[in-house]
Amino acid sequence: MRRSLFGEKSGIYKKDGEDYDINVRFDEQYRLNTAALLDQFIVFRDQASGKIKEVPISAIVDIENSVSFSAIKHKELRRVVTVYSAVLAGYNANEVVDHVKESMIGFDGIPSDVDYEFTGEVAEQEANMNFLLGALATALGLIVFLLVLQFNSISNPLIILLSIFLSFTGVLYGISLFGMPFVIMMTMMGIISLSGIVVNNGVVLIDYTQLLIARKKEELGIPFEQMLPRIEAREAIVLGGAARLRPVLLTAITTILGLIPLATGLNIDFSSLVINWDPNIYIGGDNVIFWGPLAWTVIFGLTFATFLTLVIVPACFYLVYRLKLKIKALRGS
């Protein structure tokens, strides 16, 4: 029956270096004819006489029309039924799934022994999200480890780590403000990339501030192992922020301007520019759909993190320094 309806491979047809399977089955008029299907013969060898016999299918079967599944699938010894549905253009798949989940919570028509879960694109996104969260945690762990080795301190790496986490809020604010979708893969990759960029600005600022504090100690004749008084330390922190204002701003501005063409999909045909003096400039295309979320993530986060680096990082450094002075005074007393 299956051979009659779906066909069976009987050979291969070769043309222009390509192979095409040859399948043989009934014509459409016979495939839709129940009598023609049941008039086929079952060929077998009689065990008693050893002769080959032919018996029509209609002689050994009964016909009954019923509704059933074309295939029964199992997963972990349990029957599984998969329901597919496409998402219309212009709608977000995650929002559609969230609405379906909300509807399923209040639906009482599902038997108690039946479970359901969402697979397909949603399951792939969850897997990608878990992987990228693990990669982000690993990257942050390595960053903190390297910063501890560089500063020989735990407080300064924690201050920089705080600025990294606060920069993530800038990404969420930007996406919410402009109504952009949160693309799991590219947005998370942008967040991971943003971590390395924010660390650079924080390291430059704190390292130069510590250098000014060391110079101030030398100027006042204070031993290196002792801490600078609060007033002098505050002046060094202010001078460090003022001195590093221009480098931090230039780094952020050049990075943001460099990502604008990638975020907006600015395309220039350099071949046509050189040959025909026509650059064929246009904005959009397929590249912006793929790379746009990553670029906008870095732009939003870096814009927000620049002000954090210039304001939050020095303020946190000053508060931690005052806390260290109080702890040292308590130990001395």
The answer to whether residue 23 sits within a structural domain is yes
Backbone angles phi, psi at 54, to 5 degrees: -125, 130
Together in a domain, 50 and 126: no
In a domain, 74, yes or no: no
Question: What residues contact residue 296 under an 8 Å CB cut-off, 6+ apart?
Answer: 174, 175, 178, 180, 190, 263
Question: CA 188, CA 272: separation in Å to the nearest integer?
Answer: 36
Are residues 63 and 152 located together in one domain of the fold?
no
Task: Report the pLDDT value the prediction gives residue 333, as an integer from 0 to 100.
Answer: 62
The residue type found at 58 is S
* 291 and 172 both lie in a single domain: yes
- Can you give the pLDDT at residue 73? 85
- pLDDT, position 134: 86
pLDDT of 181 strictly over 80: no
Residue 110 lies in a domain: no
Mark which of 67, 86, 102 sits at the end of a domain.
67
Whether 82 is in a domain gets the answer no
Cα angle, residue 232 at apex, residues 240 and 154 outer, rounded to 5°:
65
pLDDT of residue 282: 73
Q: Are residues 26 and 143 in the same domain?
A: no
Name the residue with higher pLDDT: 142 or 268: 142
Statement to judge: residues 128 and 271 lie in one domain: yes
SS3 of the chain: helix, strand, coil, percent, to 5: 65, 10, 25
How far is 333 from 327, CA to CA, in rounded Å? 10
**Pairing relationship of beta strands 282-283 and 266-267 according to DSSP bridges:** antiparallel
Q: Does 162 lie in the same domain as 46?
A: no
Question: Domain with 275 in it: what CATH number?
Answer: 1.20.1640.10
Same-domain check for residues 141 and 52: no
State how far the Cα of 60 lies from the Cα of 16, in Å rounded to an integer.
Answer: 47
Q: CATH number, domain at 58?
A: 3.30.2090.10
For 17-66, how does the pLDDT look when each residue is reduced to its tens digit (9 = 90+)? Answer: 888 889 888 888 888 888 888 888 888 888 888 888 888 888 888 888 88
**219 and 138 belong to one structural domain:** yes
Mean pLDDT score, 227-250: 86
Contact between 241 and 314 under an 8 Å Cβ cutoff? The reply is yes
> Over the stretch 276-295, which tens digit does the pLDDT of each residue have?
887 777 777 777 777 888 88
Instruction: Please check whether residues 55 and 194 belong to one and the same domain.
Output: no
Domains identified in the chain, total number: 2
Please give the structure tokens belonging to residue 167: 């920069």
* pLDDT tens digits, one per residue of 107-124: 777 777 888 888 777 777
* Percent of the chain whose pLDDT exceeds 70: 99
CB 61 within 8 A of CB 73: no
CB 265 within 8 A of CB 287: yes
Tell whether 96 is covered by a domain: no
Q: Do residues 19 and 144 share a domain?
A: no
Which of 130, 208, 207, 203 shows the shortest CA–CA distance to 161? 203
Domain region containing 139: 122-332
In a domain, residue 102? The reply is: no
What mean pLDDT value characterizes the chain?
83
- 33 shares its domain with 132: no
Residue 92 inside a domain? The answer is no
Q: Is residue 101's pLDDT more than 70?
A: yes
Distance CA 148, CA 184 (A): 31
Both tokens of 99, joined, read: 């609405």
Whether residue 135 contacts residue 178, with contact meaning beta carbons closer than 8 Å, is answered with: no
Identify whether residues 176 and 45 lie together within a single domain. Answer: no
Angle at CA of residue 185, ends 182 and 188, nearest 5°: 70
Residue 311 lies in a domain: yes
